[in-house]
Amino acid sequence: MSALSGSRNPAWVRALLSQWWVAPLTRLALVSAWLIGGVNKALHFGSAIAEQAHFGLHPPALWAALAVVVEIGGSVCVVLRRFTWLGAGGLGMLTVVAILVANDFWNQTGTPRFIALNSFFEHMGLIAALVLATMLGDVQPESGNSRA
């Protein structure tokens, strides 16, 4: 059964969403921040270690290596729809850690609190999108549309 069958969306929305390229492009867009971040950390590993130390994560080299593996590996899992639950779960857990160490609005006041609070809820939205991607990963595409 497709996620689109029985949809109450207008016909033009269903037609757009049923295009073979929409789902993979959407998955790539969803994980783009993690994928680019992981590649950037891998290419500039010293800076990645410094970032982890800045946020108080020790040992920083281990946290930096873990971030690289999870950001790249998890992104690839989501984009390719292989072990989506594992990739999205890893990205979600990494994001929870980031929320707790970098967006601790409860410890701030004024403008920094405002910025951290907004970032906190943006990251919560990304975690929710990863959950949805995992849920939709179980939905089988309509016959003849196996590239989704």
Note whether residue 53 is domain-resident: yes
Note whether residue 25 is domain-resident: no
What is the pLDDT of the chain when averaged over all its residues?
A: 91
Mean pLDDT computed over 54-70: 97
Is the model's pLDDT at 145 over the cut of 90? no
10 Å CB burial of residue 125 (0-12, 13-18, 19+) is: exposed
Please count the other Cβ atoms lying within 10 Å of the Cβ belonging to residue 65: 17
Note whether residue 9 is domain-resident: no
- Domain count across the chain: 1
Q: What is the pLDDT confidence band of residue 140, given thresholds at 50, 70 and 90?
A: low
Note whether residue 8 is domain-resident: no
Rounded CA gap, 91 and 140, in Å?
23
pLDDT value at position 137? 82
Mean pLDDT computed over 41-46: 98
Note whether residue 63 is domain-resident: yes
Note whether residue 44 is domain-resident: yes
pLDDT value at position 54? 96
Is the model's pLDDT at 5 over the cut of 90? no
- 72 is in which domain, residue-wise? 30-137
Amino acid at 35: L
Note whether residue 99 is domain-resident: yes
